[in-house]
Amino acid sequence: MASRIAMVTGASTGIGFDTAIALSAAGFTVYAGARRVEKMEPLKRHGITVMSLDVTSEESMGSAVALVEAAHGHIDVLVNNAGYGSYGSLEEVPLAEGRRQFEVNVMGLARMTQLVIPGMRAAGSGRIINVTSIGGKIYEPLGAWYHGTKFAVEGMSDALRLELKPHGIDVVIIEPSGTNSEWGTIAGESLLATSGDGPYQRQAHVVAAALASTSGEGHVLSTPARIVANTIVRAATAKRPRTRYPVGRGAWSVLMMRRILPDRAFDAVFWNFYSRLAG
């Protein structure tokens, strides 16, 4: 049986990096893309093809998908993982940065999906796996732009699941909690740079400390990226995948709490929890 073809975006670190390795180990022919190509060099030892991929560039995305389809006809699995977190008060974050956040996290994902759908539709099969976050269901102060993108991807994915079902294409959402990657540290640093001084500084320092608690080994909310990667492989290989896969420490309990608590009660519980994390 011919190897199935998988393409992973945002594969230079963390979830994307480990997902490329896990998919390769599961028997997929894997193409891994990111802007920082040098960070993906170790992936080559696993037989993975690495490529330059910028999800804000039409030329870059089109060329990457065309290269894979020219070699294999179509892509069986697309893992839309590229994204970042831009934190800061809505008042202080420049609109240009807000637009960039949506360009990377939403529009890039949407365009990559547009590019692979025709081949999948012609083949009568395919799977699109969108990595959102528990942040697509919950919220944090000073994270309006980031959570806005993740809520958007959740809604887009639900609509897309219905419209692609008649064509044999599955759409799956992965909802990780914090992972032991550099994501939380980078997000916290950008938050402090934007709102660390001024009217939001107290909240900024609490939230930045909480974000940092999700980065690195051994932290209270830190989940190894390979755990998320293994969940993505399950979603890619299941005969009938679930629509959503919450994964990571605290993911199920936080989402359940959000489901059952009124908004203001959740506000209070979440803020008190973040305050404890910050010390």
Residues with active-site annotation: 146
Written as six digits, the tokens of 65 are 């998908």
DSSP code of residue 223: B
Encode 188-221: b = buried (16+ Cβ within 10 Å), e = exposed.
bbbbbebbbeeebeebbbbbbbbbbbbbeeebeb
For residues 170 and 127, the answer to whether their CB atoms sit within 8 Å is yes
Nearest by Cα to 210 from 279, 269, 265, 134: 279
For residues 173 and 109, the answer to whether their CB atoms sit within 8 Å is no
Residue type, 200: Y
Tokens 């979830």, residue located: 15
CA distance linking residue 181 with residue 84, whole number of Å: 12
DSSP code of residue 181: S
The H or E element containing residue 171 is: strand 169-176
